[in-house]
Amino acid sequence: MSDFSENIKQHTSGLTPVDGLKKLVELFPGEVIFSTSFGWEDQVITHMIFTNNLPIKVFTLETGRLFPETYYVWGRTLEMYGQPIHAYYPQAEAVEKMVSTKGPSSFYESVENRKECCGIRKVEPLKRALKGNKCWVTGIRADQSVSRHDLHNVEWDGGNQMVKYHPIFHWNLDEVKAYIKDNNIPYNPLHDKGFPSIGCAPCTRAVKEGEDFRAGRWWWEDQSKKECGLHETDNIIVTK
């Protein structure tokens, strides 16, 4: 594992986001995948991938509980680039069982129930999406939440046994917005209504002035529990 880690360090250190993506495509041909939820950060990376014709599969998790505005920007993105965005849905049987026994809003009742819903609608489909790949690209930035501040732009994801690369990890929100404006990139209109982080509609609200970036996600829970399980893995730091 150490030789592998050193190889990633040497090849990605100091590169721009686009050059970093190009290098990972060289290192893992046909095995790099990017997950988008159509937020600000993900739209930036989608633009980088599609406009540079990078052979990176772009996918999204269609949980069945997304905002209409998310579907809007999804459609606009397909129109703009003419490239496929692969949708992964939850297993119908698992959703049916959960909703039939606990109702459509069980996630409000306990952290356990909420994580069960996230597990069915997001984590399990993610596992299927990542299968057969060696590098997972994400739109994570350092200042998005306390739990993400201690991560690094390249990591080893022990849970999924693959490299995770966050191309714009060190960008601030102003840089993200400027890139979107300069490149006329479509973005979710909810961002203009106080939604910095957008997930499933029942679990996302606008944030108030001065609140944390992810305060609008699962706002009824303790701040320390605000991850859905997609990035809660045994991460071994590869490089800063």
Walking along the chain (240 residues) 10 residues at a time, the average pLDDT comes out as 58 89 95 97 98 98 98 98 98 98 96 96 97 95 63 84 92 96 98 94 91 84 59 42
Residue 139 lies in a domain: yes
Q: Which amino acid is at 3?
A: D
The pLDDT, as a whole number, for residue 152 is 74
User: What does the alpha-carbon distance between residue 150 and residue 147 come to, in Å, rounded to a whole number?
Assistant: 7
CB atoms within 10 A of CB 84: 10
CB atoms within 10 A of CB 68: 9
Residue 234 lies in a domain: no
The pLDDT, as a whole number, for residue 13 is 78
Residue 120 lies in a domain: yes
Residue 147: both structure tokens together: 């739990």
Burial class (CB in 10 A: 0-12, 13-18, 19+), 64: exposed
Closest CA to 199 of 122, 106, 96: 122
Residue 39 lies in a domain: yes
Residue with tokens 């191309």: 167
Give the domain CATH number at 52.
3.40.50.620
- Is residue 179 within 8 Å of residue 187, measured between CB atoms? no
- Is residue 64 within 8 Å of residue 56, measured between CB atoms? no
Identify the domain containing residue 32 by its residue range: 2-190
- Is residue 50 within 8 Å of residue 76, measured between CB atoms? no
Closest CA to 213 of 154, 157, 149, 153: 149
User: What does the alpha-carbon distance between residue 144 and residue 122 come to, in Å, rounded to a whole number?
Assistant: 20
- Is residue 33 within 8 Å of residue 41, measured between CB atoms? no
The pLDDT, as a whole number, for residue 211 is 81
The pLDDT, as a whole number, for residue 153 is 82
Residue 229 lies in a domain: no
The pLDDT, as a whole number, for residue 156 is 86
118 is catalytic: no
Residue 169 lies in a domain: yes
The pLDDT, as a whole number, for residue 181 is 98
What is residue 14's three-state secondary structure?
A: coil
Residue 178 lies in a domain: yes
Query: How many domains are there within the chain?
Result: 1
The pLDDT, as a whole number, for residue 108 is 95
Residue 131 lies in a domain: yes
